[in-house]
Structure 1
Amino acid sequence: MTSATDKKRQTVYPDMDPLLMVLLLVWSSGAHCETTAKADIVLLVDDSGSIGLQNYRLIRSFLARLVSVFNIGPDRVQIGLVQYNDDPKTEWHLNTHQTKYSLLMNTYNLPYKGGGTNTGRALDYILHKNFKSNVGMRADSQKIAVLITDGESQDDIFLPSQNLKDAGIEVYAIGD
């Protein structure tokens, strides 16, 4: 049975993915709700110099709220995280944190580095290093990349974005 709210959401946002809707709800309202979807999500976080330490603290807080929404586990949602500036660096893989607590503790402790903004290189990196079965990607899960950035890339993002899409990975960008 479909509720009136669900019908309204389907009318206003007919093509919106349910996981994206959860992400947007968390981001905009701060509400707490859990999802039991099976997904592999790689968060791609810009920690370039243009972010600044104060904004980076806000990003970490946002990431913690985002993580807290999901039912984390090997049969539910797995979250990997890559930070990037001039060069991307995997902070943790999809299969590293099996509990929400572990994931949250590591989210709060992410270091800020600074540097340039090579988003294209970072998108290519997650395709080849993070969306792989040997680091936790599951064949039967939804694959999602969430890019969090404050600005324009210093390199090309079109081809790396297309390669992710061609590999069946949904890419969502949250930016300034």
Structure 2
Amino acid sequence: MNDVAFHHAPIGLAELENRVIRRCNVEFATMFGGAPEDYQNLPLLNLYPSLADFERIGQRGLQAMRETGEYHDERVMRRRNGELFWCRVRGKSLTPDDPFRHGIWSFADISEDRPVIELTPREREVAIRTCHGLSAKEIGAELGLSYRTVEAHRARLLQKFGARKLPELVAKLSGMPL
């Protein structure tokens, strides 16, 4: 990869080996805070809100990358100063037989489009599936929860987002990509 193009790309780029940053570009470092050399050999875990998020997203990403060699999502990440922000992440494995061994990942700060509202990982999963139009029973089946538990999560989401009814919640969530 051309080093000039990599280092000055208008989107955050990082080359990862086994979920450890080997190098990143200026935009990546600016987004997370600091300079590119601050991230060399830094475990990606350090940029997640929690170990649970790192493990959960890693499992989901590994499964997708084994199937297609690529993965993308939108998630909350953590800057060096501890601030949480929404980030669009896309990755491509350079070693399809071992997807996390070596890959190129892009990171885009999308926090201007979406406020950070503290959600539990389970609330986030329920919110995503709600936006995909799934019923409480369908969400419960996918997540191994009772539909009543899903409804309880939805009630908390309604409160957190200041929505009165489910269609209003979906409208608020759909304006903020999950």
Find the structure with the greater CA-based Rg: 2
Instruction: Give TM-score scaled by structure 1 length.
Output: 0.24
TM-score calculated relative to the size of structure 2: 0.24
Give the structure with the higher percent helix.
Answer: 2
